[in-house]
Structure 1
Amino acid sequence: MGKPLPPANEEARLAALRSFDILDSAPEQGFDDLVVIAAGICAVPMASVSLIDRDRQWFKARLGLDDAETIRDTSFCAHAILTPQAITVVNDATQDARFSDNPLVMDEPGIRFYAGAPLVSQEGFALGTLCVIDKQPRQLEHFQLQALEALSRQVTHLLEMRRVSRALSLQLREREWYEQQLQHYQHELEQQNADLAEQTRTDPLTGLPNRRAFSVALATAIDKAMASGDGFAVAVLDVDHFKTVNDVHGHDEGDRVLAALSDLLKAQFAGRGMAARYGGEEFVILMPGTSLEEARLLCEYVRESVGLLSMGLPISVSIGLTGFRRGDAPDDLFKRADAALYEAKRNGRDRVSCG
């Protein structure tokens, strides 16, 4: 068995990995969703977000794999990080001198096929991979390799956003009144959720809150922002060329597209915001406690994820985004976001525009 050598920048790479404070952390829906999408696109039973520590590989998210970690010496991903500029593909591990006598090949889980797209940090360090695995030899199509590479970038975006969030939390903890403010905010949030629960109306097709529920939530967010000084962001999302989908494929297919998009928005913003169907093919998103740049990254992730939906036809979205400004009324926010949406459409669609 060919044991993987450490990269030449191993110590700096390990320091970069630890800066994310993610090893041995609890599961997170965002990472789990990307693993499920990768496995579905590549039509394989196993996939993972694997991070390479000094002596082990640890799975931040996994599908079809029992163990939470394995030793580094037997790790396919430890080989993959040695070429961070390209996906490592092993079509048949029994025919590859590096892996033919690997315990993971000879015993459970009986790996035959492996493809790993490196997770490269902003500083250029390969932290691990987003990988897909099968018990049968196989080859991936070009579009599957492209999708795996795109999803690996989304995993890296989640890691970077997580690191930024951690840095902000550390700064807040240095402030003497942080704990008191946090408790006060939690109380207000619980009260706001209780109020909204009584008034929420649900769109029957998508299961999302409807326009009325969003209007209530937006007014509440403005009141809170005026009192506390905390910011938030609002986005308007529109399905590109949706009329063509209805005209060419029928309204049932159009409804299927709206339902799939709604499921994606639910997964992305559950517990940390609100997505609602505003009308037709138009959706609105409320992102409390989020800067405009953080909101833009979230919207870019949504936009790219829509392009990866397995719908059988090309689907894209345009998104207009704006942040709260002191003195804004609900109509002010919506008009700016809507104007940004039309700018995104004028500039070619399938993009995020800020206003």
Structure 2
Amino acid sequence: MTAIATPPLDEATRQRALDGYHVLDSLPEGAFDDIVQLAATLCGTPTALITLIDRDRQWFKARTGFDETQTDRSAAVCDHAIRAPDTLMEIPDLARDARFAANPFVNGEQGDARFYAGMPLVTPDGAAIGTVCVLDGMPRHLTDAQRAALQSLARLTMTLLDARARERTLEHEAFVATAAPAPASAAETGVAVEDPGYTLALIELQDLAGTVARVGERGTEKLLQELDAALESALPSGGTDAVNRSSGSGEYVAVLHGADAARTLERLQTEIATRTAAHGLRFLTGTTQGAAGEHTGMVFLRAEADLLDRKAAQSAH
């Protein structure tokens, strides 16, 4: 039976899917580094990459045999590969392909790549967000076994990305579940109780990898630890408000209660701006309102959607 090709999603939907993984500008991770090493070994190429196609750039989650951490999207061969999400794109000789002959990474201006093969990274919803690809400095072809290996490594990469995203979501939901107010019933109190509700804020550091490159890993962790303490101090004393930083990241989750929640959030954002501006750190905040007893997963999804909306709006300017 002939497989039915999956049509590519529109660019806005594809970009939102990529943003939803919160992987762009993240720090290196051993599992992804292992995948590119394995791709290069299995395919017999000097270069292998896990690429993610962002709005105007191609960013590398992992790489071997290539020094740059990103390139312009206009020079990304992978930008062509993701247009056919179900198909491995193999170019035996980039210099003989009219689409790529003038590419600076092909014509000698920035490199001399001649061979390319890339398998798209496709989300469960059908969004092609990048590739696992290999490159060589001489024209060639992959064997059937190498093509199958590259396709398997792309599936494995998506499995890791999905697991990474689930772990983040579960960590945040668990924190919200402990910090959000539980509903008090009239039977428990003897009187009707107004739902107090709460504000949930996701406060995310943009370009964690870039920050580490500027101030170092230790310097970044010191800045974030100082910010942890400052944000805790900015919460009203004796209350039930809480803020937590996600492990291994620059993302904070705040659960704020009562009529003063907006002012508390403003204090948190002021602390962030005051303590990080000198180091060039940028944060985005997504917020929503939650009701006592409401499923925390639904509340988190609304805050996440607001954060992604703000990221898209910032990128549009």
| TM-score, normalised via structure 2 length | 0.53
CA distance in 1, matches of 2:143, 2:9: 32
- Name which of 166, 182, 187 aligns with 1:164: 166
Q: Choose between structure 1 and 2: higher helix proportion.
A: 1
Quote the residue 1:14 is aligned against: 15
Q: Describe the superposition over 1:125-162 as per-residue Cα deviations: whole angstroms up to 9, x where unpaired.
A: 00100000011111111110011001110001001101
Aligned partner of 1:76 in structure 2 is 77
Matched, 1:90 2:97: no
Q: Which residue of 1 aligns with 2:125?
A: 123
Task: Return the alpha-carbon distance in structure 2 between the equivalents of residues 120 and 8 of structure 1.
Answer: 11
Q: Retained in 1: the 8 A contact 2:120–2:131?
A: yes
Give matches, 1:20-39, under 5 Å: 20-39=21-40
Residue matched to 2:106:
105
Supply the distance in 1 between the matched residues of 2:9 and 2:127 (Cα, whole angstroms): 11
Unmatched runs of 5 consecutive residues or more in structure 2 = 1-7, 181-317
**Counterpart code for 1:134:** D
Report the AA paired with residue 11 of structure 2: E
Instruction: Determine the C-alpha separation between the residues in 1 that align with 2:31 and 2:147.
Output: 21
Deviation at 1:173, TM superposition (A): 2.4
Shift of 1:169: 1.2
Separation in 2 of the partners of 1:109 and 1:172?
47
Distance change >3 Å, CA 152–CA 8, structure 1 → 2: closer
Q: In the TM superposition, what is the alpha-carbon distance from 1:11 to its structure 2 partner?
A: 0.3
Matches within 5 A, 1:27-66: 27-66=28-67
C-alpha distance in 1 between matches for 2:112 and 2:174: 47
Q: Which has the higher contact order (CA 8 A, sep 6+)?
A: 2
| C-alpha distance in 2 between matches for 1:138 and 1:108 | 21
Instruction: Give 3-state SS (helix, strand or coil) of 1:103's partner.
Output: coil
Distance 2:101 2:73 in 1: 16
* Deviation string, structure 1 residues 283-302 (Cα, Å, up to 9, x no partner): xxxxxxxxxxxxxxxxxxxx
**Percent identical:** 44
Q: What is the aligned partner in structure 2 of residue 316 from structure 1?
A: none
CA contact (8 A) 2:9 2:126 kept: no
Name the CA distance, whole Å, in 2 between partners of 1:109 and 1:117.
22
Offset at 1:113?
0.3
Q: Which residue is equivalent to 1:174?
A: 176
Task: Output one character per residue of 1:220-264: Cα deviation in whole Å (capped at 9) or x when no partner.
Answer: xxxxxxxxxxxxxxxxxxxxxxxxxxxxxxxxxxxxxxxxxxxxx
Secondary structure in 2 aligned to 1:133? strand
CA distance in 1 between partners of 2:102 and 2:27 (Å): 33
Tell me, in whole angstroms, the C-alpha distance in 2 between the residues paired with 1:8 and 1:130: 19
- Could you tell me which amino acid in structure 2 is paired with residue 143 of structure 1? A
Does the CA contact (< 8 Å) of 2:82 and 2:130 recur in 1?
A: yes
Question: Where does the alignment leave 5 or more consecutive residues of structure 1 unmatched?
Answer: 1-6, 179-355
TM superposition shift of 1:99: 0.3
Q: Deviations for 1:87-143, whole angstroms, at most 9, x for unmatched residues?
A: 011110110000001111112321100000000000110010000001111111111
Residue 170 (structure 1) shift: 1.2
Does the aligned pair in 1 maintain the 2:21–2:161 contact within 8 Å? Answer: yes
Task: Give the distance between the partners of 1:112 and 1:54, measured in 2 at CA.
Answer: 26
Q: Secondary structure at the match of 2:165?
A: helix
Deviation at 1:176, TM superposition (A): 4.2
Q: CA deviation at 1:175?
A: 3.9
Tell me the distance in 1 between the aligned counterparts of 2:81 and 2:117. 9
CA–CA distance in structure 2, aligned partners of residues 19 and 136 of structure 1: 37
The residue number in structure 2 matching 1:147 is 149
Deviations 1:264-318 (A, max 9, x none): xxxxxxxxxxxxxxxxxxxxxxxxxxxxxxxxxxxxxxxxxxxxxxxxxxxxxxx
Task: Report the RMSD for the aligned CA atoms in angstroms.
Answer: 1.3
2:142 partner letter? L
Q: Is the 8 A contact 2:48 2:64 kept in 1?
A: yes
The residue correspondences of 1:203-242 to structure 2 (distance < 5 A) are: none
Which position in structure 2 is the counterpart of 1:337? none
1:133 to 129, 132, 135: 135
CA shift, 1:174, in A, is 1.2
TM-score normalised by the chain length of structure 1: 0.47
Q: Distance in 2 between matches of 1:162 and 1:176?
A: 22
